[in-house]
Amino acid sequence: RESKGKMPRYPGLDRWILIEKMGDGAFSNVYRARDSTGQYGEAAIKVVRKFEMNSSQGDNVLHPDFKKAPKAAERANILKEVQIMRQLDHPNIVKLLDFSESRQYYFIVLELCPGGELFHQIVRLTYFSESLARHVIVQVAKALEYLHEQAGVVHRDIKPENLLFYPIPFIPTRNPKPKKPEDEDKADEGEFIKGVGAGGIGQIKIADFGLSKVIWDSQTMTPCGTVGYTAPEIVKDERYSKSVDMWALGCVLYTLLCGFPPFYDESIQTLTEKVARGQYTFLSPWWDDISKSAQDLVSHLLTVDPEQRYDIHQFLNHPWIREADEPTTAAA
Ligand code: ADP
Ligand code: MG
């Protein structure tokens, strides 16, 4: 991780003191930052480089309009992401705190999820116990229920890299060290294990609305477009797009339970075919000790026909979700 001294400075972002880099992509960097005015405390800032500033691609002779053409589309995309996030208010969805831009960058200021990506926890723990997997997936599902049923939004990019979390502040060890006096009020190991099982994952938050889409108007509760003139395929399309999130939810649940994804192949073409056919297995020996009930739920999500696939209500009412053998304490 980068040290304080090497943090870049962005004109227009003077209010924020960048602390460390939390994520990076082709066009965006995400930093943990502290608000120098004290209004927000800490936050995550997604800094998105404006397209025309990308010097390595800026002189692309094959696309004379390369510098100009994609800019409007890119801007529209960023604004859509921000616009959608602005509407959302749910404990399991990352909150948008602020948005601004400079000549070269967009700055999306987000609620900080100090735990980072769920993805890294799967790598760290190899796989999750059924109760920890349930603790996680229920929270993702609650967020999807809100998005699908209340906000009229489909996320379309649900995956472990876009699921962030608040850690439980106490990581249990076999032989816990004696507590310092100032730590007396923190949870002890016993409490921690009763709460959520091993792993230290508290509250889960869905991030990255870069591919998300509004499917209906949450004000009028109608599909987007002119009321009464909406074609049946649009109404159906709305249902299909929700089912896209449910498929992804199934992929995440599968991965949590065994530690590897349901569909994988080194060849993209073969992988695409496997997905299209819904060709996956509960691979032995990894799935041998995972309950039949969990497998049943996964198979209702990884169903090729979107009409047959579980929707969010069916998911939340499945016995494996409802049988929750322990209280899911969401320590924020
Ligand atoms: P991209 O569109 O580039 O995937 P994301 O919004 O998914 O952008 O952010 C990229 C990465 O930055 C995430 O996968 C995560 O590691 C980190 N990140 C994003 N938002 C936050 C946040 N609010 N708190 C902590 N880390 C974050
Ligand atoms: Mg992402």
pLDDT recorded at residue 196: 43
Concerning whether 245 is annotated as a catalytic residue, the answer is: no
Specify the length of the chain in residues.
332
Residue 55: per-residue pLDDT? 46
Which tokens go with 127? 């796989």
Residue 53 is predicted with a pLDDT of 44
What integer pLDDT is reported at residue 239 of this predicted model? 80
Distance CA 75, CA 241 (A): 24
pLDDT of residue 177: 58
Per-residue b/e over 8-34, b at no fewer than 16 CB within 10 Å?
Answer: eebeebebbebbebbbeeebbbbbbbe
Q: How far is CA 206 from CA 18, 102, 138, 159, 213, in A?
A: 23, 27, 12, 9, 15
Measure the CA–CA gap between 5 and 69, rounded to whole angstroms: 37
CB atoms within 10 A of CB 328: 15
Which positions ≥6 away from 229 have C-beta within 8 Å? none
- Relative to beta strand 163-167, strand 105-110 is unpaired
Is the C-beta atom of 162 inside 6 A of ligand 1?
A: yes
How far apart are the C-alpha atoms of 31 and 54, rounded to whole Å?
Answer: 20
Q: Is the ipTM of this complex over 0.90?
A: yes
**Is any ligand 1 atom within 6 A of the Cβ of residue 117?**
yes
Distance CA 122, CA 79 (A): 32
What is the best residue among 1, 42, 46 to mutate for testing ligand 1's pocket, by most ligand atoms within 8 Å of CB? 46
Region label for 124, one of left (φ > 0), alpha (ψ between -120 and 50) or beta (otherwise): alpha
Given 14, 65, 98, 157, the catalytic residue: 157
108 lines ligand 1 (CB under 6 A): no
Establish whether 162 is an annotated binding residue. Answer: yes
Best of 164, 201, 203, 206 for a ligand 1 pocket test (most atoms within 8 Å of beta carbon): 164
Distance 206 CA to ligand 1 centre (A): 10
What one-letter code names the amino acid at 154?
A: V
Q: Residue-wise over 86-123: b if at least 16 C-beta within 10 A, else e? A: eebebebbbbbbbbebeeebbbbbbbbbebbbbeebbe
User: Counting atoms of ligand 1 from 1, which one is nearest the CA of 208?
Assistant: 6
Residue ID of nearest Cα to ligand 1 atom 26: 116
CA of 253 to the centre of ligand 2 (A): 18
179 backbone φψ class: left, alpha, beta (φ>0; ψ -120 to 50) = beta
Distance CA 261, CA 271 (A): 12
For residue 138, the surrounding DSSP H or E stretch is: helix 130-145
pLDDT (0 to 100) of residue 54: 46
Question: Which atom of ligand 1 is found nearest the CA of 115?
Answer: 25
Per-residue pLDDT of the chain (332 residues; tens, 9 = 90+): 545 558 999 999 999 999 999 988 778 999 999 999 999 999 999 999 987 544 444 444 455 555 555 578 888 899 999 999 999 999 999 999 999 999 999 999 999 999 999 999 999 999 999 999 999 999 999 999 999 999 999 999 999 999 999 988 654 455 555 667 776 655 554 444 434 444 689 999 999 999 999 988 777 777 776 677 888 888 888 888 999 999 999 999 999 999 999 999 999 999 999 999 999 999 999 999 999 999 999 999 999 999 999 999 999 999 999 987 555 554 44
pLDDT of residue 224: 73
Distance in Å, CA 162 to ligand 2 centroid? 5
pLDDT confidence of residue 70: 57
Among the listed residues 81, 86, 105, 83, the one whose alpha carbon sits nearest the alpha carbon of residue 96: 86
Residue nearest to atom 25 of ligand 1 (CA): 113
Tell the residue nearest (CA) to atom 12 of ligand 1. Answer: 23
**What does pTM read for this prediction?**
0.84
| 145 is an annotated ligand-binding site residue | no
> Directed axis angle between helix 292-301 and helix 232-258, to 10°?
150
- Tell me: is residue 60 an annotated ligand-binding position: no
Q: Nearest 5°: CA angle at 283, between 280 and 289?
A: 130
Query: What's the 3-state SS for 2-54?
Result: CCHHHCCCCCCCCCEEEEEEEEECCCEEEEEEEECCCCCCEEEEEEEECHHHC
Q: Which two tokens stand for residue 178?
A: 């004696």
